Amino acid sequence: MEYDIYELIGIMSGIKEEEMDGFVEDIDRVEAAVYNKFDIDLEQFEEVVKSLLPYTPIVKSHLGKKPFNAFVVNGRMIVRKEAKQ
């Protein structure tokens, strides 16, 4: 889930898709983006994301048809957790 959260930060910070791989691999850029956007550190952001996941829409994966709570961007699950049934 770690890199998924980094990608979510990148999307929320306006990182271009072609720059995303380099962004998620650079922890200093990720931490700076979280702080600049939300004035919190990365650990706090991760806790917020984990706390909000149960309140996101339930979507099903294409392959296994498993239900997930997920942050969805452009039809793609970015951060997800298997939904409780």
Given pLDDT bands bounded at 50, 70 and 90, which one contains residue 84? confident
Amino acid at 70: A
What is the pLDDT at residue 64? 74
Q: Is the per-residue pLDDT at 22 higher than 80?
A: yes
For residue 40, report the phi and psi dihedrals to the nearest 5 degrees. -135, 165
Which percentage of the chain shows pLDDT scores above 70? 95
DSSP state of 40: S
Q: Kindly list the domain boundaries of the chain, sorted by start residue.
A: 2-82
Q: Is the per-residue pLDDT at 79 higher than 80?
A: yes
What is the pLDDT at residue 1? 62
